[in-house]
């Protein structure tokens, strides 16, 4: 069994430098052997559950295909994710659609897909969504999303279990379920409590899941109870990884009395530590406050530090044996949010050094943008000794391509 986490120090520095020279920076590198190992570890621990991959963590075609080939079905939170999964070669009957305030076009696409693939399950978290589905002729496999009123995870913005945006109010679910059975084929309940759950969060996570399990027993006659995902990985080098066996034992205990299949949707746990972002130092500036290290990646490449104040370990691949100096690493964008760390000890970076940012396989490339007209990074997959480009780097021409197509420019 592979180690429970791939630390940034475990990446082959010579290989990262070679890939950066060959493909430029900023560059995402995804270790698909690691993705498969993470899935194998998770599915072995949760051998009593139906495991799906939460595609929102990383919808890259190569990533989705690797997990599907490894045995995971795919859970999609938007119609675009359904489309991407199908484009990756996923059979529609192996998809589940979990809608959150779905736009009309999303519901149209999902219902059209269901008409050809009645095995598709659609999850709804609001009574109005049920009405909108019925108006489109949908009467198929339905799951209801529950808001358990308890959220867990690494940041309040991902503690979805207590956010009114997500799911039906706990006290209303039984009545909604009874009425839904007259209109749809009610097959499941769904809940997602939060994201980034580590061993210290398991008690809170258990309380939330217990509420869902208790509710499922009262609703009764269900094919499955989907307890979402949320299992986390350590972002700091001294942080302990999740005890996956303890997490599995907790879920097994909570669901022991359920007469329904337990479903889980890991995302981050499967792909986060399989990704590294390599970036080149272009500017060194000594100031009275700090040592500024400018790099060619920015929040357009990886926004998690700016959005969630997230910690991502940074390694000096080129000069790892130098004495550490407190450094503030930031990108080329005109905002104070465009920083990856502030006053962090890093082996003294110099111009042209290659830095690597760890644990970017989840919510990294998916959240990349063209703010400041920055072309989005490329991506390379590594598998054993093999390497292949799975996402080409955008060019300046790509920045205006949709506008050019709209205006008929050649």
Residue found under tokens 């690597």: 356
- Identify the structural domains of the chain with CATH numbers, from first to last: 32-269 (3.20.20.10), 273-403 (2.40.37.10)
Question: Is 266 known as a binding-site position?
Answer: yes
Tell me: the pLDDT tens digits for 280-307? 999 999 998 899 999 999 999 999 999 9
Q: What distances in angstroms separate CA 365 from CA 27, 251, 299, 311, 325, one per listed residue? A: 10, 31, 11, 17, 29
CA-wise closest residue to 267 among 307, 229, 235: 229
Question: Is 363 known as a binding-site position?
Answer: yes
- Provide the token pair at 333: 């964008």
Question: Is 252 known as a binding-site position?
Answer: no
* Average pLDDT over every residue of 379-387: 98
What is the Cα gyration radius of the chain? 22
- Provide the token pair at 98: 């979990």
3 state DSSP class of 231:
strand
* Average pLDDT over every residue of 12-40: 98
pLDDT band at 404, cuts 50/70/90?
very high
Question: Which pLDDT does position 339 carry in this prediction?
Answer: 97
CA gap 364, 57 in Å, rounded: 8
- Known active-site residue 334: yes
* Average pLDDT over every residue of 209-220: 96
Share above pLDDT 70 across residues of the chain, in percent, rounded to a whole number? 96
* Average pLDDT over every residue of 35-47: 98
* Mean predicted lDDT score pLDDT of the chain: 94
151: pLDDT strictly greater than 70: no
- Backbone CA torsion sign across 361, 366, 367, 372: positive
Which carries the bigger pLDDT value, residue 381 or residue 193?
381
Question: Which pLDDT does position 361 carry in this prediction?
Answer: 98
Question: Is 348 known as a binding-site position?
Answer: no
Strands (E), 296-385: 314-316, 324-330, 339-347, 354-358, 378-383
Question: Which pLDDT does position 379 carry in this prediction?
Answer: 98
CA gap 50, 73 in Å, rounded: 8
227: pLDDT strictly greater than 90: yes
DSSP 233: -
Share above pLDDT 90 across residues of the chain, in percent, rounded to a whole number? 89
The single residue of 334, 402, 406, 409 carrying the catalytic annotation is 334
Question: Which pLDDT does position 186 carry in this prediction?
Answer: 98
* Average pLDDT over every residue of 169-176: 96
* Average pLDDT over every residue of 111-140: 97
CA gap 329, 230 in Å, rounded: 29
pTM above 0.75, yes or no: yes
17: pLDDT strictly greater than 50: yes
Tell me: the pLDDT tens digits for 57-96? 999 999 999 999 999 999 999 999 999 999 999 999 999 9
Question: Is 167 known as a binding-site position?
Answer: no
* Lowest mean per-residue pLDDT among 19-28, 36-45, 94-103, 201-210: 201-210
Question: Which pLDDT does position 209 carry in this prediction?
Answer: 93
* Lowest mean per-residue pLDDT among 170-174, 176-180, 191-195, 333-337: 191-195
Question: Which pLDDT does position 154 carry in this prediction?
Answer: 41
* Average pLDDT over every residue of 148-155: 58
Question: Which pLDDT does position 158 carry in this prediction?
Answer: 42
Quote helix, strand, coil % in the chain, to nearest 5: 35, 25, 35
* Average pLDDT over every residue of 349-353: 97
CA-wise closest residue to 363 among 157, 80, 55, 97: 55
142: pLDDT strictly greater than 80: yes
């Amino acid at each position: 069994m592979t180690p429970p986490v791939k630390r940034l120090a475990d990446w082959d520095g010579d290989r990262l430098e070679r890939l950066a020279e060959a493909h430029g920076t900023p560059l995402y590198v995804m270790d698909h052997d690691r993705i498969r190992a993470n899935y194998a570890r998770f599915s072995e621990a949760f051998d009593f559950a139906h495991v799906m991959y939460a595609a929102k963590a990383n919808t890259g075609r190569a990533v989705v295909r690797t997990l599907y080939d490894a045995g995971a079905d795919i859970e999609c939170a938007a119609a675009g994710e359904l489309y991407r999964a199908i484009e990756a070669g996923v059979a529609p009957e192996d998809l589940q659609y979990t809608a959150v305030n779905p736009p009309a076009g999303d519901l149209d696409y999902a219902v059209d897909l269901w008409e050809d693939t009645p095995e598709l399950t659609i999850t709804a978290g609001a009574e109005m969504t049920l009405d909108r589905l019925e108006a489109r002729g949908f009467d198929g496999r339905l799951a209801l999303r529950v808001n358990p009123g308890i959220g867990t995870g690494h940041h309040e913005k991902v503690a979805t279990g207590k956010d009114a945006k997500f799911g039906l109010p706990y006290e209303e679910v039984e009545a909604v379920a009874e009425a839904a059975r007259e209109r749809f084929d009610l097959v499941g309940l769904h809940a997602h409590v939060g994201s980034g759950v580590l061993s210290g969060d398991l008690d809170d996570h258990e309380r939330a899941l217990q509420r869902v399990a208790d509710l499922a027993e009262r609703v009764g006659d269900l094919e499955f109870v989907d307890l979402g995902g949320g299992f986390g990985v350590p972002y700091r080098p001294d942080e302990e990884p999740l005890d996956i066996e303890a997490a599995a034992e907790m879920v097994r205990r909570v669901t022991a009395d359920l007469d329904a299949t337990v479903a889980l949707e890991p995302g981050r746990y499967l792909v986060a530590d399989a990704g590294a972002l390599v970036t080149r130092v272009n500017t060194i500036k000594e100031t009275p406050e700090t040592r500024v290290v400018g790099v060619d990646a920015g929040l357009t490449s990886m926004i998690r530090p700016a959005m969630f104040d997230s910690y991502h370990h940074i390694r000096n691949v080129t000069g790892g044996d130098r004495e550490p100096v407190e450094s503030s690493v930031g990108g080329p964008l005109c905002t104070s949010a465009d920083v990856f760390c502030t006053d962090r000890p890093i082996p003294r970076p110099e111009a042209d050094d290659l830095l690597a940012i760890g644990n970017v396989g989840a919510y990294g490339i998916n959240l990349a943008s063209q703010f400041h007209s920055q072309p989005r990074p490329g991506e390379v997959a590594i598998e054993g000794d093999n390497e292949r480009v799975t996402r080409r780097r955008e060019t300046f021409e790509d920045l205006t391509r949709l506008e050019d197509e709209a205006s008929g420019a050649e």
